[in-house]
Amino acid sequence: MFFRKKKVEPIKKTKAELFKEYLSRALFITVGTFITAAALETFLLPNNIIDGGVIGISMMVHYVTKWNLGLLIFCINIPFILLAIKKLGVKFVIHTFFATGMLAIATNVFHGFHVTEDLILSAIFGGIILGFGVGLILRNNASLDGTEMLSITIAKKLRIISVGELLMVINLFIYTGAGFLLGWDRALYSILTYYIASKVIDAVLEGLDKSKSVRIVSEHHREIGDAIMKELDTSVTYMRTLGGYSRQEKILTYCVVNKFEMPKLKDVVHSLDPKAFIVTEDVHEVEGVRVKRKR
């Protein structure tokens, strides 16, 4: 018998829950902008090391004109932000305006502080701190870089170049300009900073506590599944598969475990089937209810 599934309605949040969510988001964005400002004003700017995107353009304009860095970042970002309204949504644009406004304030707070004149230390620690601050902002649905928003808009319209490739071309022009304006050594330090910051941003967005998704193909899938649920206290899912060479139907056992549980999982599987085929992949975020075994 065919039947119509009941339509699932989205869960509506109360005003109190929405206020708490907005307050939390605003707090994290504010903290992120102050961390970003600390990196820019205390490590990078005093040593003529720049970031990519709008922040990098603003730093070069500041180098020539001595205008306020935070105000430059805010003003240069405005046209890019307005272009992104249709593609990225009103909420994202409002959050981004808030983030750039807070950064303008935060840069004035840290202006004049200088941690070190060592270029290597400035590039490394400036990149780490900058990446953490920007990652925190991105994680809360905001941005400081209008070139990313422009790249998303153009890439969707042209469909012949990816967002990443377009960003690479834009930053290539920015760092080439930095080489002529600030010196090629500063341009190379800037590229090092950008690379470090991008890796830290990825770590903040994806999380440091990575889990592993595991796929196991074995004739003893039932025993292996029961052992995993008993020894690791995690649920498993069975899926029917078809062998490519044998053309025989097999059962694939799937589960998600913490990376520290992987050695134990392998021991459990190999103790039951030394020839079991195991595939693992990194999982950056796991959400939902974890079904545990019945006691």
Q: Where are the domains of the chain?
A: 15-206, 211-283
Please report the pLDDT score of residue 290 as a whole number: 55
Q: What is the mean pLDDT of the chain?
A: 84
Residue 233: closest CA among 290, 289, 292: 292
Is pLDDT above 60 for 140?
A: yes
Record the tokens describing residue 81, joined without a space: 């932000």
Taking residues 123-137, report their average pLDDT: 93
Please report the pLDDT score of residue 113 as a whole number: 85
Is pLDDT above 90 for 201?
A: no
- Sorting pLDDT into bands at 50, 70 and 90, what band is 20? confident
- % of the chain residues with pLDDT over 70: 86
Residue 74: closest CA among 27, 151, 144: 144
pLDDT digits (tens, 9 = 90+) for 40-60: 999 999 999 998 888 899 999
Please report the pLDDT score of residue 1 as a whole number: 44
Name the pTM for this structure.
0.74
| DSSP H helical ranges for the chain | 15-39, 53-65, 69-83, 85-88, 90-110, 119-139, 146-158, 163-182, 184-206, 221-231, 262-272
Options 3.30.70.120, 3.40.190.80, 3.30.70.20, 3.60.110.10; CATH of 211-283? 3.30.70.120
pLDDT digits (tens, 9 = 90+) for 229-259: 988 888 899 998 887 777 788 889 999 988 7
d(CA 248, CA 133): 52
Please report the pLDDT score of residue 163 as a whole number: 63
In this structure, are residues 237 and 255 in contact, taking their beta carbons and an 8 Å threshold?
yes
Taking residues 271-294, report their average pLDDT: 74
Taking residues 207-220, report their average pLDDT: 82
Is residue 23 classed exposed, middle or buried when 0-12, 13-18 and 19+ CB atoms within 10 A define those classes?
A: exposed
